Structure 1
Amino acid sequence: MSLFSEDEPQPVEIKGNSLTCPVCTNKLFWTRDAQLNTPVATFFNLDWANRSATCFVCSDCTHILWFLGK
């Protein structure tokens, strides 16, 4: 099983704009979903109820860009 949703990095578009890495200006990213855990939900074993974020990981420098929602 791969850590990322796709095997090869892909270009990403956000609100009609091509995503560019702010560190290295690369335009190819791997996509991954991440759980935004909170201490209270974890204490009550309710991590499933926390929000998720979509992360785009630069295929060149591995800088991570986080976006709430899909």
Structure 2
Amino acid sequence: MASKPKRAAIGEMWINCQVCRGDLFRDREVKLNSSGMEFMNLAWANESATGLICWQCGYVHLFVNSELRLYRADK
């Protein structure tokens, strides 16, 4: 099932797509794998980021900022 569109902000600043300037996204967790951790079979311990995938053009934005907030969008 596809996720519902969301808007995102960091503090008072709303996020827009860097490519198409859209403001609707779907989100997913993204592992920031490093080759060293992969080599030692410790990929599970790599840091994660929030991936915001533009609803309009599909460009993926990555955020590790803990202040990122997601809000339901009424599309």
TM-score range, shorter chain: 0.7 to 0.9
- TM, length-normalised to structure 1: 0.82
Tell me what 1:17 maps to.
13
Q: Do structure 1's residue 40 and structure 2's residue 36 form an aligned pair?
A: yes
Runs (5+) with no aligned partner, structure 1: none
**Large movers: runs of 4+ above 4 Å:** none
**Identity level (%):** 33
Q: 1 CA distance for matches of 2:56 and 2:35?
A: 33
The aligned length equals 66
TM-score, structure 2 length as denominator? 0.78
Structure 2 unaligned residues grouped into runs of 5+: 67-75
Higher share in strand: 2
Cα RMSD between the aligned structures?
A: 1.5
